Structure 1
Amino acid sequence: MCPSIIQIKSRSSILNRTDYRPSSSRSSRDLGVHISLQQAERVLQSMDKNGTMTVDWNEWKKSPTLQPAENLPEIILYWKHSTIFDVGENMMVPDEFTSEEHMTGMLWRHLVAGGGAGAVSRTCTAPLDRLKVLMQVHGSHGNNMCIMSGLTQMIKEGGMRSLWRGNGINVIKIAPESALKFMAYEQIKRLMGSSQETLGITERFVAGSLAGVIAQSTIYPMEVLKTRLALRKTSQYKGISDCAKQILKGEGMTAFYKGYVPNMLGIIPYAGIDLAVYETLKNTWLQRYGTDDAYPGVFVLLACGTVSSTCGQLASYPLALVRTRMQAQAAVEGASQVSMTGLFKQIMKTEGPTGLYRGLTPNFLKVIPAVSISYVVYEHIKTTLGVQSR
């Protein structure tokens, strides 16, 4: 095929989802670009000099504003696998991989890179994560804990090492949860009967949310352990196994599933909003700037990931707070066993709507460094594993 035709088809794939040629249609679907017929016609008219609504080679080479995209699959992957930004939450929709990536082993390299990036990112932001848990559980009108007083209290009680309490289990659970979520996601896609390699945004949300529920249901006892370890006092537990034994002995097996319902409910707003905002920002950028440069660049990807994650957390935060308080009930002296709805009513009555957002500040403070660290480490591990990216 003539190189000029390849270039025209590649560029049209990015700009025009109404292009009915198979390669163009598939490429635009993989990118998830949404552009109206009128917008596509304006792009065509800007190059069409003779009014035929077709662009020949002479018109194409005289168009000064367009730079041909030579490797469309690379552009797709640049966006597609930039959704693995770990901010310590467990509610993201899993990434998608092509059949070629399955066969070549690139899938597992991406998952390993994502797991490694998550471990480093969570470890670096662990003090803010523990502070968030303390503010969620102990914060009230009577104990108006702020960032500085909370950090000072943690260091005074247990030294600098206490800032990382609960981080070990938080890192350990990355691998099993990621693997379970991905396997469940792939199976659900097949059960949905989709013949397409890439799902639409609604299908991705449904499949991703269900996969999240399955993965979280399996590893949820580790979530409870993380909260208890983050709240523990010096010498209260000897380690993860000792914490698990004490909970099992003193409270029974049901203690490992306290807060389960609000946690599962929180997956829906978090995953839905995170995915929708990321896709919207991506499509907006491609429609506005994709005609000049199809590659977004690091800062655009980081901005999309940060904003989408922040919006998802903002929507699901009250459920996350109630979940944490339910997980911690037996660990807090004098705390009564209250149900999810009972806790909502109690917080609204005693603390007002703002009580549902206690600990939100350190939670938001960790998003930008978590996304940035996750991205840098992810790219570095990908390169080490031989995953090609621009």
Structure 2
Amino acid sequence: MFQLLRGFVLPAAACDGNRDGDSRYANLFRKLDLNEDGRVDIAELQTGLRAMGIPLGKEAEEKIFKAGDTNQDGQLDFEEFMQYLKEHEKKMKLAFKSLDKNNDGKIEASEVVQSLKILGIDISEKQAEKILQSIDADGTMTVDWNEWRDHFMFNPATDIEEIIRYWKHSTVLDIGDSLTVPDEFTEEEKKTGQWWKQLLAGGVAGAVSRTGTAPLDRLKVMMQVHGSKSNKMNIASGFKQMLKEGGVRSLWRGNGVNVVKIAPETAIKFWAYEQ
């Protein structure tokens, strides 16, 4: 969706002069000002972003609007809109530089791993590559400043910690097995109950993931225990043996315990993180 933004809203992305920057902001403002009255209200912002394929969600859109509406009149004029984007770009530039460890103007997977490790977060090279793939527009597996800026232009994150939290929500697969860092929930999230919804969603995702792969996990254990030079067990023979032993249900034997332990396992991770 951000390639769309790059393609027809930011045609001068390669130029960083003030005139080119103002022109980019003006083009974008016109796309959002649906009734052409020179102002953008929250409804136009939401509708315009969705039309451009950038559905941020109500909370993020309201956060952007609140930060930009400096005179609090419920609308964004062009000056407010441009000022917000300029200030936001400065924050994103600082975040970009904090990840670009060798100062070569691009972020690589190893730099993401290194930067997050400094912040006390350990991720694998594969996880870092997945993060970069979500930003990389030209398929180089590296992210330059233009790609970074375009990707985060309408992301209300203000610093690297909020960006990491955004990455966590957009890339986490299994809250039970995958390495995940618990969020520091805001007071608003605590009041609205958003925190337990996120935990529940993660737990359900973990349960579904484990249930789907349970037969393969059981086969792996069986091959490790019973496989030998004299007993050359392969995938097909392993499945046949499990089916012969207890039918289809035997493929998921022990999965209930594996799913149930997600809750205490996650609670311990959250407790350890808070400490």
TM-score of the superposition, structure 1-length normalised?
A: 0.34
TM-score of the superposition, structure 2-length normalised?
A: 0.47
Q: Say which structure is richer in helix.
A: 1
